[in-house]
Amino acid sequence: MSEEITNQDQVNLEDAIDRATESVAVQAAEIGELAGATDANGDPIGMDALMEVPVRVTVRIGRANLTLGELVQLSPGSLVPLDREAHEPADVLVNGKVIARGEVVTIDNSYGVRVTSISQEL
């Protein structure tokens, strides 16, 4: 992990990500009522009732295994090599389960993720 990214490489990468981000639109699929589920009044519960339930989404770009000695020696500026290459997709997790994969992008001054594939197990 001693390779350094030049400023021009960073600008080119950010420009490519910004162009790709602008060209992608995500649409939500319509989901019908839950089969057999009812509310306290006996009325069917539709998916609309569940769409406001908050869930925690985590994006994992990689993992690292360190010894305790390596961990306590970390300081500002330390580099921790991850188990993935820069071009590999990040995992999108809900409740610890991978539900999708995507590319890390910048959105204004924040990071985001552009979903590139959805898990077939959903």
Confidence at residue 69, expressed as pLDDT on a 0 to 100 scale: 96
Tell me, yes or no, whether 75 lies in a domain.
yes
Tell me, yes or no, whether 96 lies in a domain.
yes
Confidence at residue 120, expressed as pLDDT on a 0 to 100 scale: 81
pTM (2 d.p.): 0.57
Measured between alpha carbons, how far is 54 from 58 in angstroms, rounded to an integer?
13
The residue range of the domain holding 55 is 7-118
Tell me, yes or no, whether 107 lies in a domain.
yes
Contacts of 60 (CB under 8 A, 6+ apart): 90, 91, 93
Tell me, yes or no, whether 34 lies in a domain.
yes
Q: How many CA atoms lie within 13 A of 111 on its CB side?
A: 8
For residue 60, give the CATH number of its domain. 2.30.330.10
Structure tokens at 35: 């089969």
User: For 78-100, what is each residue's pLDDT tens digit?
Assistant: 999 999 998 899 999 998 899 99
User: For 6-63, what is each residue's pLDDT tens digit?
Assistant: 666 656 666 665 555 544 433 333 344 455 666 677 766 667 767 888 889 999 999 9
Tell me, yes or no, whether 103 lies in a domain.
yes
Structure tokens at 115: 């979903």
Radius of gyration of the chain (CA): 20
Q: How many CA atoms lie within 13 A of 83 on its CB side?
A: 7
